[in-house]
Amino acid sequence: MEIRGAAVLPARREDIELTTDDGLTLVGELALPEGREPVATLVTLHPLPTAGGFMDSHVIRKAAARLPALADVAVLRFNTRGTSSPRGTSDGAFEEGVGERADVEAAMRFVAERGLPDPWILGWSFGTELALKYGRGFDTRGTILLSPPLHRTTAEELAAWAGDPRPMLVLVPEFDDYLRPAEAAERFAVVPQAELVAVSGAKHLWVGEKQALRALTEIVRAVNPSALPLPGEWPDA
């Protein structure tokens, strides 16, 4: 089977619910490698829900569909407050990244309670704002930012990462709608440990298999580089 598009590889998949400190129930899914324990965990934060972002946004969906099998990585994805997907609708309403702090806290609490190993926060677009605003406070291995717009993240919040020893991988599309590589290099210069990767030909939404695969490859390079290169085929059952 060729691995592309909507391909879903074997994994242990579990519908989950997260409970926030302000009493909301968030719906999500945990995908684990089949027949073995994960070597790392991705806690994914999806793009802006008011612009169509949700736990099934395609790069996050493909990470959950492929990486447990291809890279031994656990993938936690969920709908932030007020967000809907085929999995269901999370309680609450969109709060411009403020109330969503409790959503991130609930996800990280779930990871700790389940004993999931080496968690990395993976944010895409709006999800990068949540990662940058709140991610420093959690016990993680590192942070991966996909198409960061830096709209809601203040200069002070970004600069606060300067003394953090954990790695930060910043993937910036060449033709991003909001923040392109040259400006991103200037903005992230205050974070010495940030590795900025300018991705040729990519746009904010990473449309197309070529760009989705590039994003997944960079993610795996950060969390489990021994799994590279990612194969393009999966044995038929």
3-class SS of residue 47? coil
Q: What is the DSSP annotation of 128-186?
A: HHHHHHHGGGS--SEEEEES---SSS-HHHHHTTTT--S-EEEEEETT-SS--HHHHHH
pLDDT digits (tens, 9 = 90+) for 117-172: 999 999 999 999 999 999 999 999 999 999 999 999 999 999 999 989 999 999 99
- With CA atoms as reference, report the closest residue to 122 among 203, 59, 207: 59
Quick one: the chain helix, strand, coil %, rounded to 5?
30, 25, 45
Per-residue pLDDT in tens (0 to 9) along the chain, 237 residues: 899 999 999 999 999 999 999 999 999 999 999 999 999 999 999 999 999 999 999 999 999 999 999 999 999 999 999 999 999 999 999 999 999 999 999 999 999 999 999 999 999 999 999 999 999 999 999 999 999 999 999 999 999 999 899 999 999 999 999 999 999 999 999 999 999 999 999 999 999 999 999 999 999 999 999 999 999 999 975
CATH code given to domain 12-224: 3.40.50.1820
Domain ranges of the chain: 12-224
